[in-house]
Chain A
């Protein structure tokens, strides 16, 4: 099934008043006349394939600013039309991975069977059998998501060399859809961190500026998609771990509703907040991946039985956008996210994005979530409490690294002291404290009460608004090492995202602009938050937003 070509309705969009330095120098366009911002909605298979093919260098003078296209659909189209083989595609990605990996270091493990699996897909193509929706698609999987027989460490030394005996449900579904797991991506240990500096193994660099962090904890997954080391990737989001790196790396990041995707096989950090999410270079790709991995799972009692709509086909059928495709959409801009402590460049990017939504027909209203600022402390109490419990199993007794000692208490003490990193230890200590007799009411219970308040304030706001928008992060990507010694500053970076996890809502981050930094500017992501199980709506809005956003190409200078 080839993707339907999306054609441009010949219409004009108003020129945005943007400051030049907010625009990637590489993709900056003359803003002087209307014709230059005329949208061209062509993302035909041909153009998508050419974007993928041999020459990864993007001419800085490219003024066409093709909107992001679906890499998944173009791979599918080229396989079905026999233009390329899965082995070709895999070879191209692997070549690029080998070339870029020494700089980016997004993978903790690269599969040795990728080419073999691609050839398997080619045999399937040759046999004329039905192809799964992700046939030949190379997927990066965050290292805290279990892959049978492939190392899965959660970024922790304590699980060095651990190979799970089973696939996570999300991974199993990807494989059943024909996807090839290309490797395991780097992350902050067990998801605790916002930079990948907390990884027990290596620090991943941001493809936009390798002196900067890619964000975290799913930094490896975001960087790998940004650098086109893989087509799409899975991440996990407990307090923003998909959305924040998506924003830092200029890719689409989707955090589904809690329970939308099975957590079976996801190494638990904070069970009541953890969600598997995904990264793609376009909203369509994220939607296709979500389609595959969603649904109830009998191995996860918290997975929802809520019906899974066909997220992707809906987007693909959008042949023609009306002049104001978002007409009637009520968008609430969260007041608390565009004030003090937020980078001015980020604020103006977000305001510009809001303007763009307005041009598409939406009405923008500022809304206030009074409990917003309570989210961060509540999150750190709850997440640490659950983490202190969830990480108890890493004791060196049954798997993972075990200290060589003679006595039981030292076995526990030394295995955990040696195997766990400082951030993890700190959170275990905080969580243990919060759950201790006599402190439970003051911390855990109170945080749960705050969580209820937050849930309610989102519910109220989303009764009045269709979606809420905010920055995904208060700043662009930090320099590596910049916040290592300031955990509170690091935690403060999660202010935009943690509330959404506490409320269990879905959120989509779409690149929307740049701020100054690096050689090509640093991407900024717009976070769109919807009510529970409204992924379909978020993806539709995100898709329209992305396909109509003028002037930007989110391809990092590294390529």
Chain B
């Protein structure tokens, strides 16, 4: 169990400095691991790597180098109004239709904080296991750009609302699985900027301020990720969290969840970080995964060719078409944002009651869900499938509440229901089937009222048209035939209708039993209980009647 941290192997000082008691066992594990490394036993290391991280093979060949990845995530909050004015924000609105003097930065206007932003920030802070600053403040971050109306962004600088947390992630089974814990450096509140729309000729640009002033939470991770998949899963977990918490739609395509990734590479054993490169423009988790792995390979190649000085501190864009990163801009020294405390806004003071209330109101979060499903005996594959989407998880949990068997419910959801959703391009919230009916269905099959095959038919009926299992069974007369006499009559009928095949069977071609069984089933419209059917059929075929 403690081994789950070994794959990283990195002496991550942040882990050691953390004082959480919960982490103790893992800290010890990490420490022993470090001492092993201190002795320079490369072989042991390699073995451990292979032992606990079978998916290593899937990752870029890092030739004795390791990648250090940190992520800054911007989450757009779906509050009714913007952070500092009463404008709504609706993605895709006509340009400059949801703006006012405040978010346009007119002279004399002042920001007024939307209290929902604080509430959402506290919720996320709690969900990320952070410490909260009971008194925090806003600061101004200055730069000139036409999409930034005031010439500064209202943000939080030295006292963010939440700090020093962590997030737990289960890697997908197909990538080798494994549990990871990544540190969260801080969460802070800020406002979004507008957008520039560039003309096709490039001769002019237009400014759309609809997005200006929309509340954001920026989540800064510790540099704890080591591969593209870890980074992608970190981001996916953030997406799940914000959706579970109901604070953002977390939609990457709409820009509600944006990740800027910092990647650097260094030889294993070196404590100094390599030059870090920032990657932007990834609008899916799989793009993140590929972009990071590409970037790691690029940097490792330069390192191994002795050209590490050719790695510049810069911002690179991921281009989906080329599957490569390209230089966007080189950073000439650090930008000076001239932060200073925002004088137009009072300090943000949290009360214990406020925090406690939000804490009690938190829903079950993905990590807790996964652990709970795991305890039910579901496989990790099942666990991840069910817990990764809060709507699916809700559906699953609701069917369990009605007494459905977890494994059977999981199978139905992951199998036929999910296939149906995929075909019809629907989400689980859009189907007519209710969790209650799924549990009824499972129960009806389990108690023998209907066969599994009929169950499947009913399921599709329920998915598409709704209704109840009970009424469908009655309406369509689908109750399973278990009465031996009734089945015997059917068997007789089939045998009589197929004398040729019967003759062949009795001549030794016994595999024709399947044919007869099918015919009887057909005759019964699928309602015959297969066990009883096969038993009677066997006897009849042998002519023992």
Chain A residues proximal to chain B, CB less than 8 Å: 144-146, 152, 154, 159, 162, 164-166, 168, 263-268, 270-272, 298-302, 385-386, 388-389, 391-395, 397-399, 408, 412, 432, 435-437, 440, 444
Return the contact of B105 from the options A145, A264, A272, A398 (Cβ within 8 A): A398
Pairwise interchain contact A159-B344, C-beta atoms closer than 8 A? no
Known contacts A298-B112, A393-B105: A271-B344 contact under CB 8 Å: yes
Q: 16 additional contacts, CB 8 Å, given A386-B340, A393-B151, A432-B338?
A: A159-B107, A164-B108, A165-B101, A168-B108, A300-B112, A301-B344, A301-B345, A301-B346, A302-B343, A389-B338, A393-B107, A397-B146, A398-B149, A398-B207, A412-B144, A440-B340
Q: Which residue of B lies closest to A303 (CB)?
A: B110
User: Which residues of chain A are near B107, meaning CB under 8 Å?
Assistant: 144, 146, 152, 154, 159, 162, 164, 267-268, 393-394
Which of A264, A391, A436 has a CB less than 8 Å from the CB of B336? A436
Closest to A263 in B: B110
| Interchain CA distance A395-B209 in the complex, whole Å | 15
B344 touches A302 (CB 8 A): yes
Is the CB of B6 closer than 8 A to any CB of chain A? no
- B334 adjacent to chain A (CB < 8 Å): yes
Q: How far is the CB of A397 from chain B (nearest CB, A)?
A: 5
- Contact between B336 and A164, CB atoms less than 8 A apart: no
State the Cβ distance, A364 to closest chain B Cβ, in Å.
36
Of residues 328 to 385 in B, which have CB atoms within 8 Å of A's CB atoms?
334, 336, 338-340, 343-346
| Distance between Cα atoms of A440 and B144 in the complex (Å) | 20
Cα of A399 to Cα of B111 in the assembled complex, Å: 19
B338 touches A435 (CB 8 A): yes
A264 & B110 in contact (Cβ 8 Å cutoff): yes
Between-chain CB contacts (< 8 Å), 24 pairs: A144-B107, A144-B108, A146-B107, A164-B101, A165-B106, A166-B101, A263-B108, A266-B108, A268-B344, A298-B112, A299-B112, A301-B112, A302-B110, A386-B340, A386-B343, A388-B338, A389-B152, A393-B151, A395-B146, A398-B105, A435-B142, A435-B339, A437-B334, A440-B338
- Which of B105, B110, B111, B346 has the most chain A CB within a 10 Å cutoff? B110
**How many angstroms between the C-alpha atoms of A411 and B344 in the bound complex?**
28
Contacts of A435 in B (CB 8 A): 142, 338-340
The residue of chain A having its C-beta at the shortest distance from the C-beta of B337 within the complex is: A437
* In the complex, B113 has a CB within 8 A of chain A: yes
How far does the Cβ of B279 sit from chain A's closest Cβ, in whole Å? 25
B402 close to chain A: CB less than 8 A: no
B108 touches A389 (CB 8 A): no
Distance in Å from the Cβ of A256 to the closest Cβ of chain B?
A: 17
Q: How far, in whole Å, are A418 and B104 apart by their CA atoms in the complex?
A: 22
- The docked-state distance in angstroms from the alpha carbon of A298 to that of B110 is 10
CB of A397 within 8 A of CB of B108, answer: no
Give the distance to chain A from B72, nearest Cβ to Cβ, in Å.
20
Interface residues, chain B, with chain A CB atoms under 8 Å away:
101, 104-113, 140, 142, 144, 146, 149-152, 207, 209, 334, 336, 338-340, 343-346
Query: Which residues of the partner chain B approach A394 to less than 8 Å between Cβ atoms?
Result: 107
Closest to A265 in B: B108
Kindly state the separation between the CA atoms of A302 and B207 in the bound complex, as whole angstroms: 30
Contacts of B104 in A (CB 8 A): 398
Q: Which residues of B contact A397 (CB under 8 A)?
A: 146, 149, 207
CB distance from A498 to the nearest CB of B (A): 16
Nearest-neighbour CB distance to chain A for B117, whole angstroms, equals 13
Q: Which residues of A contact B111 (CB under 8 A)?
A: 301
Contacts of A388 in B (CB 8 A): 338
Q: With a CB–CB cut-off of 8 A, which chain A residues contact B146?
A: 395, 397, 408
- Shortest B148–chain A CB gap in Å is 9
> What's the Cα separation between A413 and B336 when bound, in Å?
18
Most chain A CB within a 10 A radius of its CB, from B107, B149, B340, B344: B107
With A and B bound together, what is the CA distance between A408 and B145 in angstroms?
9
Min C-beta distance of A275 to chain B, whole Å? 13
Are A264's CB and B109's CB within 8 A? yes
Contact partners of A389 in chain B: CB under 8 A = 140, 142, 151-152, 338, 340
Chain A residues with CB below 8 A from B343, complex form: 270-272, 302, 386
Kindly state the separation between the CA atoms of A437 and B338 in the bound complex, as whole angstroms: 7
A391 to B209, CA, bound (A): 19
Q: Which A residues lie within 8 Å of B336 (CB)?
A: 436-437
The 5 closest A-B pairs by CB, nearest first: A392-B151, A271-B343, A272-B343, A435-B338, A265-B108
Q: How far is the CA of A271 from the CA of B340 in the complex (A)?
A: 12
Let me know if A392 and B340 touch, CB within 8 A: no
User: Quick one: closest B residue to A437, CB to CB?
Assistant: B336
With a CB–CB cut-off of 8 A, which chain A residues contact B144? 392, 395, 412
Residues of B within 8 A of A412 (CB): 144
**Docked complex Cα distance between A266 and B113 (Å):** 19
In the bound assembly, the distance between CA atoms of A408 and B148 in angstroms comes to 13
A120 to nearest B CB, angstroms?
26
Residue from the list B106, B110, B149, B152 in contact with A300, Cβ < 8 A: B110
B345: which A residues are within 8 A, CB to CB? 301-302
Closest residue of chain B to A153 (Cβ to Cβ) is B107
**B residues in contact with A264, CB < 8 Å:** 108-110
Contacts of A146 in B (CB 8 A): 107-108
Chain B proximity of A53: nearest CB distance (Å)? 37
B346–A302 contact, CB under 8 A?
Answer: yes
Interface centre among B105, B108, B149, B339 (most CB of A within 10 A): B108
Asked if A385 and B340 make an inter-chain contact with CB atoms under 8 angstroms apart, the answer reads yes
Across the interface, do A436 and B110 meet the contact criterion of CB distance under 8 Å? no
Are A268 and B106 in touch, CB under 8 angstroms?
Answer: no
Q: Report the separation of the CA atoms of residues A144 and B142 in the bound assembly, to the nearest whole angstrom.
A: 23
Identity of the chain B residue whose Cβ is nearest the Cβ of A440 in the assembled complex: B340
Residues of A within 8 A of B339 (CB): 435
Residues of B within 8 A of A144 (CB): 107-108
Residues of chain B contacted by A437 (CB below 8 angstroms): 334, 336, 338
Which residues of B are found within 8 Å of A395, using beta-carbon distances?
144, 146, 151
CB distance from B331 to the nearest CB of A (A): 15
* CA A63 to CA B60, docked complex, whole Å: 99
Question: What is the minimal beta-carbon distance from B313 to any residue of chain A, in angstroms?
Answer: 17
**B21 CB to closest chain A CB, in angstroms?**
37
- Bound complex: CA of A136 vs CA of B343, how far in Å? 36
Q: How far is the CA of A271 from the CA of B140 in the complex (A)?
A: 12
Provide the residues of chain B in CB contact with A302, threshold 8 Å. Answer: 110, 343-346
Q: In whole angstroms, what is the CA distance A432 to B337 when docked?
A: 10
Q: Looking at the assembled complex, report how far the CB atom of A532 sits from the nearest CB atom of chain B, in whole angstroms.
A: 16
List of B residues within 8 angstroms of A271 by Cβ? 343-344
Q: Could you tell me the distance between the alpha carbons of A270 and B343 in the complex, rounded to whole angstroms?
A: 9
Return the chain A residue nearest B140 by Cβ: A389
Query: Closest CB of chain A to B219's CB: distance in Å?
Result: 24
- In this complex, which of A144, A301, A386 has the most chain B Cβ atoms within 10 angstroms of its Cβ? A301
Q: Of B101, B108, B209, which contacts A268 at CB under 8 A?
A: B108
* Residue in A162, A265, A386, A389 whose Cβ sees the most chain B Cβ within 10 Å: A389
Are B344 and A392 in contact (CB-based, < 8 A)? no
A268, B144: Cα distance in complex, Å: 18
CA A385 – CA B343 in complex, angstroms?
11
Expressed in whole angstroms, the minimum distance between the Cβ of A301 and any Cβ of chain B is: 5
Question: Which of B104, B113, B207, B209 has the most A CB atoms < 10 Å from its CB?
Answer: B104
From the candidates A154, A165, A299, A436, name the one contacting B338 in the complex (CB within 8 A): A436
Q: Which residue of A lies closest to B346 (CB)?
A: A301
Which of A299, A301, A392 meets B113, CB within 8 Å?
A: A301
Instruction: Give the distance in Å from the alpha carbon of A467 to the alpha carbon of B388 in the complex.
Output: 67
Closest to B109 in A: A264
Shortest Cβ distance from A190 into B: residue: B107
- Closest-by-CB residue of B relative to A156 is B107
Q: How far apart are the CA atoms of A399 and B340 in the complex, in Å?
A: 26
A264 to B111 alpha-carbon distance, docked (Å): 9
Tell me whether B338 and A301 are in contact (CB under 8 A). Answer: no
- On chain A, the residues within 8 Å of B346 by CB distance are 301-302
Q: Measured between C-beta atoms, what is the minimum distance from A512 to chain B in Å?
A: 34
The listed residue with most A CB atoms (<10 A of its CB), out of B104, B105, B144, B338, is: B338
CA distance A30 to B1 in the complex (A): 101
Most A CB within 10 A of own CB, among B149, B207, B334, B344: B344
Q: Which B-chain residue is minimally distant from A398 (CB atoms)? A: B104
